[in-house]
């Protein structure tokens, strides 16, 4: 199939999607608040069926569709607040679904994380209530009845699980407590890797036989080398590692288990590798993905047949990212997720023999990409010489100069990072005339452990200075009007929205803290993080050491520096950041004679609002708040 033919097949569908009026339009707020039509689509190994996860009002249901006519074959509803976390086909007829409770937009899946199995036609349904400690290790394609899973209670154990009966058979025990396993194409255990139980060391062990391990690599957990096995060559003689040396961004290395020689396959100076690309049976490594700003791919062998059609598919969707989410076992069909910063995404079925890409589903068909605002990758040098990467979204029909700007720090803070892709909240604000700046401050994930660790214990210090320096950069570059700047974030971003005002009292005209942490001493005691030993160790590692330092880096103990309009938003059922955080800051502000201007509390929401109607209310009040203080309507008196 020629690339021109491929461009024609796929491009026709995309061109229709991108067509839209060029004039500015205020897109209804409801369009940004609506759930996507689907969250995840997976193709069966035979190519006959699709599994589709569909968000509903308070849950995610699962449907199986027949590919040839999109008819519904079977569906599953796991109950109120229960959401599909992942779907994996375990053989030609059967799939596994992991389901858990999620109480808010920013919540991790919590609760049981039970495993459910079923055939595509809905028959032979089976539930394995295992708790949240099981994880899939390998599908064992040569053994359609079993898969390999690991379970961590006191230490990681590897089991063979019968996907029809739920019967477990122990295979191996990890030498490292918080470990994971790597197995080769024949299902043989080869490595275990993870962090020691005291949290001080990263270890990788090589498997010799039952209860016989050799230490392969060990380093300091904070600043040392890490090695994570990603897969094996077709003959199992070479293993591919994601490796990071001395905290630098991770690289892709190939290790020959026979000669013990190692070579680097890919390295980027600024960012970690994002993922790896494989052929249909994962026996050939095709390349690597990475995202310094825009998403990129590096293919290793341009003569490889699979690489050629994948590269052609990339070219067929200009200004989009193409992710192959699943393939048939024979490699003849592939499911592609195609998305961009202005396009929420579609699913295409690609025929590798004919080169035809057939449109299947649109995530948010009501969103017109031509009306959305592109994300511009930016780099900012901080006062101490660090280079930060992030994104600036400018209102589509503006001249990009002297705009009201909203600094929008991401949550986490350690591990997550802002990435290129459609963000309904950012697009809503841009559609209403606001520039939005999202920076990956020190402490963010994706830039090497040294960059992430630089944020430990510095939540209210250099991590805040990074945001301040970024706003000042936007002002110097002429993007932002210095007299029309606000800051808005959720979770850690909610903390930063208030703490940045404490750190730079004269920089902002207003601030919005959404499900934010406002007292670090309280964070040590309340919420679902300190409920576990692991969570307690995490907080001890990343928060300031002493109670005095934690108070000094907490907005609720620095009310004297908060002298601008404040909007607070919280869910009463938030378990990650309990509403006690909101209540304490509210009490402190009122005691100082500085009550928040706007309060939004949803009694049935958790860590971030999930229901569309609640997000419509939130976005509407956000817009009114920003309009009063930095928008064209800022002269209008407060309601």
**pLDDT (tens digit per residue) in 210-224:** 889 999 988 887 777
Cα-based distances in Å from 459 to 75, 171, 246, 537, 543 = 45, 43, 22, 17, 7
Report how far residue 342's alpha carbon sits from residue 352's, in angstroms, rounded to the nearest whole number: 27
pLDDT of residue 635: 35
If one counts every other C-beta atom within 10 angstroms of the C-beta of residue 135, the result is: 15
**127: its two tokens:** 């539930």
pLDDT of residue 5: 42
Enumerate the domain spans of the chain.
133-217, 372-519+554-629
Report how far residue 442's alpha carbon sits from residue 387's, in angstroms, rounded to the nearest whole number: 9
**514: its two tokens:** 């959404």
Strands across the sheet containing 273-278: 273-278, 285-290, 296-299
The percent helix, strand, coil of the chain (3-state, each to 5) is: 20, 35, 45
pLDDT of residue 637: 39
pLDDT of residue 7: 43
Report how far residue 554's alpha carbon sits from residue 517's, in angstroms, rounded to the nearest whole number: 8
- CATH placement of domain 372-519+554-629: 3.40.50.1820
Report how far residue 183's alpha carbon sits from residue 135's, in angstroms, rounded to the nearest whole number: 14
pLDDT of residue 125: 95
pLDDT of residue 120: 96
Contacts of 157 (CB under 8 A, 6+ apart): 150, 151, 170, 172, 173, 174
Cis amide prior to 413 (ω within 30 degrees): yes
pLDDT of residue 152: 78
Q: Which residues in the chain land under pLDDT 50? A: 1-9, 12, 16, 19-22, 109, 111, 635-639
pLDDT of residue 104: 64
């Amino acid at each position: 199939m020629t690339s021109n033919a491929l461009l024609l097949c796929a491009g026709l569908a995309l061109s229709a999607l991108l067509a839209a009026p060029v004039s500015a339009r205020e897109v209804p707020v409801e369009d940004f608040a609506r759930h996507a039509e689907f969250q995840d689509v997976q193709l069966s190994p035979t190519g006959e069926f699709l599994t589709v996860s569909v968000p509903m009002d308070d849950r995610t249901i699962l449907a199986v569709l027949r590919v040839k006519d999109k008819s519904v074959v079977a569906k599953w509803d796991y109950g109120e607040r229960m959401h599909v976390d992942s779907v994996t086909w375990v053989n030609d007829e059967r799939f596994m679904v992991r389901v858990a409770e999620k109480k808010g937009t920013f919540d991790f899946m919590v609760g049981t994380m039970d495993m459910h199995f079923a055939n595509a036609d809905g028959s032979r349904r089976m539930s394995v209530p295992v708790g949240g400690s099981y994880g899939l290790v390998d599908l064992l394609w040569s053994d359609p009845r079993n898969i390999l899973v690991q379970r961590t209670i006191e230490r990681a154990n590897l089991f063979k699980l019968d996907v029809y009966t739920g019967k477990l058979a122990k295979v191996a025990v990890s030498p490292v407590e918080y470990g994971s396993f790597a197995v080769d194409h024949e299902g043989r255990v080869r490595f275990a890797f993870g962090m020691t139980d005291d949290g001080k060391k990263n270890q990788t062990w090589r498997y010799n036989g039952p209860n016989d391990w050799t230490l392969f690599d060990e380093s300091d957990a904070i600043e040392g080398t890490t090695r994570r096995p990603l897969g094996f060559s077709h003959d199992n003689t070479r293993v591919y590692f994601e490796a990071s040396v001395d905290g630098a961004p991770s690289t892709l290395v190939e290790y020959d288990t026979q000669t013990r020689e190692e070579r680097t396959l890919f390295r980027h100076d600024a960012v970690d590798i994002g993922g790896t690309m494989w052929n249909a049976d994962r026996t050939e490594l095709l390349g690597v993905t990475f995202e310094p700003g825009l998403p990129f791919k590096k293919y290793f062998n341009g003569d490889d047949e699979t690489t050629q059609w994948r590269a052609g598919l990339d070219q067929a969707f200009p200004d989009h990212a193409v992710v192959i989410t699943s393939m048939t076992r024979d490699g003849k069909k592939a499911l592609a997720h195609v998305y961009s910063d202005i396009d929420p995404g579609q699913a295409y079925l690609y025929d590798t023999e004919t080169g035809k890409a057939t449109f299947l589903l649109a995530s948010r068909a009501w969103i017109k990409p031509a009306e959305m605002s592109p994300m511009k990758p930016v780099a900012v040098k901080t006062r101490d010489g660090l280079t930060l990467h992030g994104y600036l979204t400018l209102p589509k029909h503006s001249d990009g100069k002297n705009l009201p700007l909203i600094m929008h720090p991401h949550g986490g803070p350690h591990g997550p990072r802002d990435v290129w892709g459609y963000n309904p909240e950012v697009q809503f604000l841009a559609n209403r005339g606001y520039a939005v700046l999202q920076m990956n401050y020190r402490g963010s994930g994706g830039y090497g452990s040294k960059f992430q660790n630089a944020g430990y214990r510095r939540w209210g210090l250099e991590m805040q200075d990074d945001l301040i320096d970024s706003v000042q950069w936007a002002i110097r570059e002429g993007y932002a009007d210095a007299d029309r700047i606000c800051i808005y974030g959720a979770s850690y971003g909610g903390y930063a929205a208030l703490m940045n005002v404490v750190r730079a009292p004269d920089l902002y005209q207003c601030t919005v803290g959404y499900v934010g942490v406002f007292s670090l001493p309280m964070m040590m005691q309340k919420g679902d993080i300190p409920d576990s030993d692991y969570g307690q160790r995490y907080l001890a590692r990343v928060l300031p050491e002493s109670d005095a330092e934690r108070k000094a880096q907490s907005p609720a103990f620095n009310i004297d520096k908060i002298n601008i309009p404040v909007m607070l938003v919280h869910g009463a059922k938030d378990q990650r950041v309990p509403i006690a955080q909101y209540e304490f800051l509210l009490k402190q502000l009122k005691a100082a004679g500085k009550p928040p201007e706007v309060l939004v509390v949803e009694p049935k929401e958790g860590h971030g609002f999930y229901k569309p109607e609640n997000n419509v209310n939130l976005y509407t009040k956000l817009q009114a708040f920003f309009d009063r203080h930095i928008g064209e309507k800022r002269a209008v008196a407060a309601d």
